[in-house]
Amino acid sequence: MANKSIAIYDTTLRDGTQCVDVDLSTQDKIKIALKLDALGIPYLEGGWPGANPVDTAFFREIKNYDLKYARVCAFGSTHHPSHSAENDPNLAALAASGMPVCTIFGKSWDRHVREALRIELARNLEIIRDSVSFLRKLCGEVIFDAEHFFDGFKNDGEYALACLKAALEGGAQTLVLCDTNGGSLPREISQIVTAAMKELPKASFGIHAHNDCELAVANTLAAVQAGVRHVQGTANGYGERCGNANLCSIIPVLELKCGEQFRCLPSGKLAELTATASYVAEVVNMSLFSRQPFVGRSAFAHKGGMHVSAVNRASSLYEHIQPEIVGNGQRILTTGLAGRGNIVALARRFGFHLDKDEPVVKGLFAELKKKAALGYDYASAEASVELLILRKLGRRGVREFFRLLQYHVMELRREHDEAPVSEATVMVEVEGVSEHTAATGRGPVNALDNALRKALTPFYPRLREMRLMDFKVRVLSAEDGNGGTASVVRVLIESSDAEQTWVTVGVSHDIIEASWQALADSITYKLYRDEYVKRSGLPG
């Protein structure tokens, strides 16, 4: 069957910015726009020109870039009821933006017309028709978003359809049906889309779904299966309230899962989806949801021993697609639930082909089980488990980059001091040379980290590019059962350099010792990768 093209319309830069905790600068929006263009997204909604300085600057700046795939869209509303289309400042700003596409929304729910706009139903139809007609004379393409269309259709289907007809009469090229409150079900979406398409058989339809019932993706797919070919959504599902339809799920489902061969991205671009999702998350300064389908770190992670044993035989037994198709990768986790198959799979990744009945595998399995019982979270701290396995298997390259001789951490707090003074001294040995350094810090762990780096950086200058990203402490239990301040704690440290991010773990009843374990593993992992992995070309 021939491919059917889907016009993906990304509104991350407009609807996505209405998400709680998302606040983008003009440069942030430029970065995201360029990344989405590189992915092959055909429509990018840039914002509302004239609404705020950031959006106004974006439309000015984006003209300086030569986009390969995307057409940038300016967004706004139909004209104010007290204005005409010709003297409305909102429509004027849209036209002045110079963008090739203008998208406007208008009311299609009779209740909104009466209670929000407080105008007659007939007047709203005039506003829609005149607004679209005005922009159609000035813009190459006009898209009409029928706000609250599904709620409006359920309440008064005849009027909701009249709103679409008014936009079509004004010259709109695409009619987008919006589930603005996110309260519709897939069955309703399918039925209403079918009814609208039957009433306006020559019109081009789109779908814009919100996720208030966790159904935005399902509703979008229902609309596409009913015949819609224009799909709106956001990267990672960012958006107001519970978010918008997640394009990072919609795109691979349409391309890989539907019986019909839908094409959303240019050939070969689907493999860039995971990297794009991560990049957008980084720019908006939000962690990518680890269990997000297709692109999350846990989307193809395997923890249970029976699952891993099956995956070792054929990954499709517990993976619905090959992770690499969307640019992701398989992860084998080692935890208290793991079996020897987990270790075999991890060892294979590092270049060792072992059998699960070999003594070294049994020994590793026993050691990992013991450490997991003590509280070591190797599912989260994959760098630490990698070092542990490589050391046990005798992998050259995981050498003793440094040896601790001693450390000492001091906290000084005097009655009238504003804050405690933290100081750490560290004595290490590197290739037979002893180094003794001291450093202060914002707290004892930071002081210890500063002192260790100060001692090692003269030997390993590339440690300067390494930085701490996150530091987490969790109380586990007390060995004697008393708990409280005597509890065992687990420390997870997330570190990064210019190329990757990794997590290490330490466990002890002493928070400084647990932190030292995680810090030492973090630095060792960095040195190992720099010295051996990059030179050998082994997977990391």
pLDDT tens sequence across 10-46: 999 999 999 998 999 999 999 999 999 999 999 999 9
**pLDDT value for 416:** 74
| Topology (CATH level 3) of domain 4-283 | TIM Barrel (3.20.20)
Mean pLDDT of all residues belonging to the chain: 89
The pLDDT tens digits of the residues spanning 125-140 come to: 999 999 999 999 999 8
Q: Is the pLDDT of residue 525 over 50?
A: yes
The pLDDT tens digits of the residues spanning 208-251 come to: 999 999 999 999 999 999 999 999 999 999 999 999 999 999 99
**pLDDT value for 540:** 46
**pLDDT value for 1:** 42
**Beta bridge partners of residue 208, listed in sequence order:** 178, 232
**Beta bridge partners of residue 426, listed in sequence order:** 407, 437
Domains 402-459 and 465-540 alike in fold? yes
CA distance 289 to 458: 38
Alpha helices in 20-63 (DSSP H): 26-39, 53-61
Q: Which of 84-88, 234-238, 351-355 has the lowest mean pLDDT?
A: 351-355
Rounded to the nearest 10 degrees, what angle do helices 444-456 and 511-528 cross at? 30
CA distances from 6 to 32, 175, 227 (A): 21, 15, 10
Q: Where are the domains of the chain?
A: 4-283, 301-374, 402-459, 465-540
CA distance 299 to 293: 5
Residue with tokens 């090959």: 322
CA distance 505 to 490: 7
Q: Which of the 8 DSSP states describes residue 210?
A: B
Split at pLDDT 50, 70, 90, the class of 513 is very high
Provide the whole-model pTM: 0.76
**pLDDT value for 339:** 65
CA distance 17 to 401: 46
Percent of the chain at pLDDT above 70? 90
CA distance 188 to 192: 6
Q: Kindly report the CATH class assigned to 402-459.
A: alpha beta
| Topology (CATH level 3) of domain 465-540 | Double Stranded RNA Binding Domain (3.30.160)
**pLDDT value for 180:** 98
